[in-house]
Amino acid sequence: MRRLKKSLLLLSLISLTSFTFAQDSVINERTKILQNGKDLGFITVLTPIDVVKKQANKATIKIKGYRLENYPQMIVRDLKRKELYAEFKDEESSNKYFKTIKKHEDDYGEIWHEVEGVFTIDTKNIAKNPDKLKLKAKKTYEQSCSMCHHLPASNAYTVNQWPQQIESMMEQVTLEPKTKNLIIKYLQQHAADAK
Ligand code: HEC
């Protein structure tokens, strides 16, 4: 009986994930990772997620990414493109929530873990309309970055170069943290090596 239950559960999990795989959901703003009221870190805006289970208030989501063996707190898109997906306050939480699928070595001999993690967030932090959010990101970029010079082409820099470019711009421009985060993610997702 237990066995049957287990395999049924497994089956429904599989069908759920395969169903949600195509969903292409994203996080709609920087979202705290909370566990029993404890603030463990955050997930960035525009991070792609799989929705495993969605209820009115809480949703179970899955994130796939990479982290450095020596600095597991940061989860990024992959070992070449360091678009930040999630950041934990300590190693322990990162290790608890993300499990390693495979290890990779980069050109500098650094060891990376390909990881996936499942946790609960507020349902309101999943973008209801990802296309609308992406359009908003594009518009925010166009409006904020074309006042003093031509709008730089998003593919003028790589995923890893953009955050530095934005930082150096901060001497000239003041942006709300929320706006800045949205622009960084937009540019990284449209950078020269984004695809
Ligand atoms: C208040 C005016 C102002 C705004 C707004 C502004 N910039 Fe600039 N930007 C400058 C100036 C001045 C330079 C040239 C001098 C420099 O590099 O600091 C520049 C240069 C640049 C460069 C070229 C740097 C290089 O090394 O060639 C990039 C890329 C850039 N800006 C991106 C942005 C982005 C992205 C935004 C939106 C977040 C933005 N800028 C908003 C004033 C601005």
pLDDT, tens only, 42-61: 999 999 999 999 999 999 99
Q: Is the CB of residue 173 below 6 angstroms from any atom belonging to ligand 1?
A: yes
Q: What is the pLDDT of residue 119?
A: 87
Percent of the chain clearing pLDDT 90 (strictly above): 80
Residues 56, 76 share a domain:
yes
pLDDT, tens only, 121-148: 999 999 999 999 999 999 999 999 999 9
- Probe ligand 1: pick from 169, 178, 179, 184, max atoms within 8 Å of CB? 169
The last residue of a domain, from among 85, 109, 125: 125
Average pLDDT rounded to a whole number, residues 2-31:
62
Distance 140 CA to ligand 1 centre (A): 15
Residue 182 included in any domain: yes
If you take atom 33 of ligand 1, which residue's CA is the nearest one?
145
Residue 38: pLDDT over 90 = no
Residue 168 included in any domain: yes
The rounded Cα 94 to chain-centroid distance in angstroms is 14
Calculate helix-pair angle for 177-189, 162-169, nearest 10 degrees: 150
The CA–CA distances, whole Å, from 60 to 33, 43, 113, 118, 150 equal: 12, 14, 22, 7, 42
Q: What is the pLDDT of residue 15?
A: 47
pLDDT, tens only, 82-98: 999 999 999 999 998 99
The last residue of a domain, from among 98, 125, 152: 125
Is pLDDT larger for residue 11 or for residue 175?
Answer: 175
Main-chain phi, psi angles of 48, to 5 degrees: -70, 140
Within a 13 Å sphere around the CA of 95, how many CA atoms are in the beta-carbon half? 6
Q: Is the CB of residue 147 below 6 angstroms from any atom belonging to ligand 1?
A: yes
Q: What is the pLDDT of residue 144?
A: 95
Residues 134, 121 share a domain:
no
If you take atom 37 of ligand 1, which residue's CA is the nearest one?
145
Residue 19: pLDDT over 50 = no
Q: Is the CB of residue 170 below 6 angstroms from any atom belonging to ligand 1?
A: no
Q: Is the CB of residue 182 below 6 angstroms from any atom belonging to ligand 1?
A: no
Q: How far apart are CA 138 and CA 189, in angstroms?
A: 11
Q: How far apart are CA 157 and CA 21, in angstroms?
A: 30
Residue 8 included in any domain: no
Residue 35: pLDDT over 90 = no
Does residue 173 contact residue 166 with C-beta atoms inside 8 Å?
no
Distance 165 CA to ligand 1 centre (A): 8
Residues 88, 56 share a domain:
yes
Number of folded domains in the chain?
2
Does residue 42 contact residue 33 with C-beta atoms inside 8 Å?
yes
Atom of ligand 1 nearest to the CA of 147: 5
Distance 117 CA to ligand 1 centre (A): 36
Atom of ligand 1 nearest to the CA of 141: 37
Residue 17: pLDDT over 80 = no
Q: What is the pLDDT of residue 36?
A: 79
Query: Which alpha helices (DSSP H) does 112-153 contain, by range?
Result: 130-144
